[in-house]
Amino acid sequence: PPAAGASPGAISPFDRRLKRKQKNWAALQAEPAKCDYLREEVRGIAGPGRRRAAGLGRHSGRETFPLALDVGSGRGYIAQHLTKETVEKLIQVDVAENALKNAVETEIPTVRVVADEEFLPFKEDTFDLVVSSLSLHWVNDLPKAFKEIHQVLKPNGVFIGAMFGGDTLYELRCSLQLAELEREGGFSPHVSPFTAVADLGHLLSRAGFNTLTVDTDEIQVNYPGLFEVMEDLQGKYILCMGESNCSWNRKPLLHRETMLAAAAIYREMYGNSDGSVPATFQIYYMIGWKYHESQAKPAPRGSATVSFGDLAKIGGLISRGKK
């Protein structure tokens, strides 16, 4: 909880107790699978067919991972893409007990633990693989969360994660801000803050990961208008997935006039030619390894035998080789 006399937002942007309540409520909704269309798009980050994870066995020098950890597992979206040939045992961790109670069954022997992503209750050098999908954007102290993940990994262990990026719902965010400035003379955040991709690699490196890969992707969904965007986000995505805004400085409601102005701005600035409007979800994918002496090392400085200046001649060299 925030320190006495201090503004909650100055200590941490999110109310984690509220987030836990939201996720617990979401896990009890009827037919939750219908609400998970975004997680369905992203959940295969650790699956055998996903190109970002295709080299796991080759790079790690082993075909299976005896013990894996799913951080912020929810109902077990990633587990559905894992096989017992790849992962021998899986531990799922989530802050919401209802999500774990309603988790999807998997063929992998699984243990479920209620815990906060920022305070992992595991010993150092425990896991061969750590995965996380669309959970870490609600963490108050992301550097600490990365350090916790790095600490519980074994040497030569790998972390694979996906989280929402800074451009997520930028159309909605900009439209609401402009409308509030025009009608109310100021604005409050209605979409949660996200990490910038430029910071992600630095944070992972600072936590101790090496051989980093950071990739971005976008999922775009079209709607008839702003009201349909917000209705779908609140009814299907946000509430059912437990993704309601839990920022300390969130604004509880919007005036009708402001909403009408935002809808007009949304359509004018971002509308498609067919009259619909887009909602963009940016996804960051990341892979990082914990150091081990068996990993490939960069060649010593000055040991190169070919100059970068010779790259311009490569076309001619290839042509002569063919002849």
DSSP-derived secondary structure for 133-147: ES-GGG-S-HHHHHH
Label the pairing between strands 127-133 and 153-164: parallel
In a domain, 37, yes or no: yes
- d(CA 134, CA 74) in angstroms, rounded, equals 9
Residue type, 13: P
In a domain, 72, yes or no: yes
Of the candidates 120, 219, 210, 225, the one whose C-alpha atom is nearest the C-alpha of residue 172 is: 225
| CATH code, 135 | 3.40.50.150
Provide the 8-state DSSP code for 164.
E
Give the tokens for residue 302.
């000055």
Phi first, then psi, for residue 155 (nearest 5°) are: -55, 135
* Exposure string for 93-110, b = 16+ CB within 10 A, e = fewer: bbbbebbbebbeebebeb
Give the DSSP H/E element, type plus range, for residue 280.
strand 277-289
- Give CA angle at 299 (298, 301), nearest 5°: 110
Residue type, 237: Y
Predicted confidence pLDDT, tens digits, the chain (323 residues): 444 433 344 356 666 676 677 676 766 766 555 556 666 667 555 443 344 444 444 444 456 899 999 998 888 878 888 888 889 999 999 888 888 888 888 889 999 999 988 889 999 999 999 999 888 887 888 888 999 999 999 999 999 999 888 888 889 889 988 988 888 776 555 555 677 788 888 999 999 999 898 988 888 889 899 888 877 666 444 433 334 444 444 555 667 888 899 899 999 999 999 999 998 988 899 999 998 887 777 677 777 777 766 766 666 666 655 55
The pLDDT of residue 165 is 86
In a domain, 60, yes or no: yes
If one counts the domains in the chain, the total is 1
Provide the angle, in degrees to the nearest 10, between the axes of the packed helices 142-152 and 197-206. Answer: 40
Of the candidates 88, 47, 83, 45, the one whose C-alpha atom is nearest the C-alpha of residue 65 is: 88
The pLDDT of residue 272 is 94
**Strand partners of residue 112:** 92
- d(CA 46, CA 167) in angstroms, rounded, equals 24
In a domain, 184, yes or no: no
In a domain, 317, yes or no: no
The pLDDT of residue 166 is 82
The pLDDT of residue 265 is 94
112 CB-near residues (< 8 Å, 6+ apart): 73, 91, 92, 93, 94, 100, 103
Q: Which domain covers residue 163, as residue numbers?
A: 16-168+193-223+279-291
- d(CA 240, CA 30) in angstroms, rounded, equals 9
**Contacts made by residues 313-319, CB under 8 angstroms, sequence distance 24+:** none
In a domain, 206, yes or no: yes
In a domain, 143, yes or no: yes
pTM greater than 0.85 (yes/no):
no
